[in-house]
Amino acid sequence: MTCTVEALGLYKVYPGGVEAVKGVDITARSGRTSLMGPNGSGKTTTLSMIAGALKPTRGSVTVCGYDVWGAEWLDARRKIGYAPQDMPFRVRLSGMDNLVWYGLLKGLSLGEARRRARELAEVLDMGDYLGRSVASYSGGMRRRLSIAAAMMGYPEVLILDEPASGLDPRAREELWRLIEVTLKDVLVIYSTHIPEEAARHSNMVYIFNEGVVAASGSPEELISRYSPKPKIIVYTREDVEPIRVDGLEPQVISRGIYMYTVDDPSQGVRMIVDAYSIRGAPIERVETRKPGLEEVFFTVTGRRLEEVEA
Ligand SMILES: Nc1ncnc2c1ncn2[C@@H]1O[C@H](COP(=O)(O)OP(=O)(O)OP(=O)(O)O)[C@@H](O)[C@H]1O
Ligand SMILES: [Mg+2]
- Rounded to whole angstroms, how far apart are CA atoms 137 and 146? 12
Q: Is the CB of 52 under 6 A from ligand 1?
A: no
Residue 307 pLDDT: 62
Query: Closest-lying ligand to the alpha carbon of 206?
Result: 1
Q: Is the CB of 20 under 6 A from ligand 1?
A: yes
Please tell me the distance between residue 41's alpha carbon and the centre of ligand 1 in angstroms: 7
SS3 145: helix
Q: Is the CB of 84 under 6 A from ligand 1?
A: no
Beta strand 251-254 with 257-261 is: antiparallel
Q: Is the CB of 192 under 6 A from ligand 1?
A: no
CATH number of 229-290: 3.30.70
In contact, 248 and 262? CB cutoff 8 Å: yes
Which residue has its alpha carbon closest to ligand 1 atom 26? 39
Report the nearest atom of ligand 1 relative to the CA of 85.
Answer: 27
In contact, 49 and 82? CB cutoff 8 Å: no
Q: Which helix (H) or strand (E) holds 213?
A: strand 212-217
Q: Is the CB of 42 under 6 A from ligand 1?
A: yes
Q: Is the CB of 14 under 6 A from ligand 1?
A: yes
User: pLDDT per position in the chain (310 positions), as tens?
Assistant: 568 999 999 999 999 999 999 999 999 998 999 999 999 999 999 999 999 999 999 999 999 999 999 999 999 999 999 999 989 999 999 999 999 999 999 999 999 999 999 999 988 888 889 999 999 999 889 999 999 999 999 999 999 999 988 788 888 888 898 888 777 789 999 999 999 999 999 999 999 999 999 999 999 999 999 878 899 999 999 999 999 998 899 999 889 999 999 999 999 999 999 999 999 999 999 999 888 899 899 888 878 777 655 4
Taking domain 5-225, whether its CATH number is 3.40.50.2020 is answered by no
Residue 310 pLDDT: 40
Domain residue ranges in the chain: 5-225, 229-290
Order of strands across the sheet with 66-67? Answer: 19-28, 5-13, 58-63, 66-67
Please tell me the distance between residue 211's alpha carbon and the centre of ligand 2 in angstroms: 12
SS3 246: coil
Q: Is the CB of 18 under 6 A from ligand 1?
A: yes
Q: What are phi and psi of 264, to 5 degrees?
A: -120, 110
Residue type, 69: W
Q: What are phi and psi of 298, to 5 degrees?
A: -60, -45
Please tell me the distance between residue 191's alpha carbon and the centre of ligand 1 in angstroms: 13
In contact, 298 and 304? CB cutoff 8 Å: yes
Sign of the C-alpha dihedral computed for residues 285, 290, 293 and 295 taken in this order: positive
